[in-house]
Amino acid sequence: MKILQKGFNYSQDGPGNRLVYHLQGCNFSCKWCSNADSIPKDNPKAKDVSVSELIDEILRSRMMFFDGGGVTFTGGEATLQADELIELLMLLRENGIHTCIETNGSSPRFAEITEHVDYLIVDMKHYDDAEHKKWVGSSLTDVKKNIEYAFSSGRQIHIRIPVINGVNVDPTAFAEYFSLFNTDNAVFEFLAYHEYGKDKWKGKYQIENGFVSDDVIKQFTDEFKKHGLKTVST
Ligand code: SF4
């Protein structure tokens, strides 16, 4: 598998203390991406690591997975390496390791992959297809289809919305869409815009005035609650 970077974090990408792998390559090109160097399919900084090498490394790290922790695969877009990812997820489940993926939700193999995942995080960046294409470079259709599949299958799903001034600040539009479905097994989180990865764009960053206030995040939380949707903050 092509891995750009790895490291531990606590409860930001799934529960407990987790070993997080950033896989190389993404099919989206979000204009605010904080991991822009993870977007190209190839990157000389990414390492080719076999599934068996990863299993060895993860099992050696087992003592670190405290407080319900485990392993998270993110990106880039982890589902682009679906065959190896599924093999790895199956082996981790056999070994009793808790797994999580954070995905942009567009994979045509979403159901097949997520069947092997313990904790699923899906990012949804816009409620409107034309705007999604404009900011992300790809259609929203597959993302919606996969999110709706997760709702209907009753599996746990954690949906994250990056809230960006001038891009998607319409809590009602998001909440009205989600409230069309049974979201008993879903939680929603709002991530205020930041510019941590701006330097990686090497002067080509295109978002201006993207920051939102705490009040805007509160408006999202209040609107979602008003629609009966559960919100979380990690
Ligand atoms: S989906 Fe994630 S990794 Fe891919 S471009 Fe968007 S923010 Fe970056």
Q: Given this model, what pLDDT does residue 199 score?
A: 87
168 lines ligand 1 (CB under 6 A): no
What's the pTM value of the predicted model, to 2 decimals?
0.97
- Can you give the length of the chain in residues? 234
pLDDT of residue 158 exceeding 90: yes
Ligand 1: which atom is nearest the Cα of residue 74? 3
Tell me, rounded to whole angstroms, the distance of Cα 170 from its chain centroid.
20
- The candidate with the shortest Cα–Cα distance to 114, out of 130, 137, 93, 134, is 93
Q: Which residues contact 137 (CB under 8 A, 6 or more apart)?
A: 28, 29, 30
Q: Over the stretch 51-86, which tens digit does the pLDDT of each residue have?
A: 999 999 999 999 999 999 999 999 999 999 999 999
Please give the pLDDT value at position 218.
98
Section 159-174 average pLDDT:
98
Question: Taking 90 as the threshold, does the pLDDT of residue 197 lie above it?
Answer: no
Mutation test residue for ligand 1: of 28, 73, 134, the one with most atoms within 8 Å of CB: 28
Residue ranges of the alpha helices (H) in the chain? 51-60, 82-94, 110-114, 129-136, 141-153, 171-178, 214-226
CA distance 55 to 202: 35
pLDDT band of 155, cuts 50, 70, 90: very high
Domain coordinates of the chain in residue numbers?
2-8+17-226
Instruction: Please name the residue whose Cα sits nearest to atom 7 of ligand 1.
Output: 33
Closest by CA position to 92, among listed 52, 132, 121? 52
Q: What distance in Å separates the CA atoms of residue 87 and residue 185, rounded to the nearest whole number? A: 26
- Mean pLDDT for 115-136 is 98
Specify the 3-state DSSP secondary structure of 68.
coil
Q: Which atom of ligand 1 is nearest to the CA of 162?
A: 7
What is the 63 CA–ligand 1 centroid distance (Å)?
Answer: 31
Mean of pLDDT values over 91-109: 98
CATH topology of domain 2-8+17-226: TIM Barrel (3.20.20)
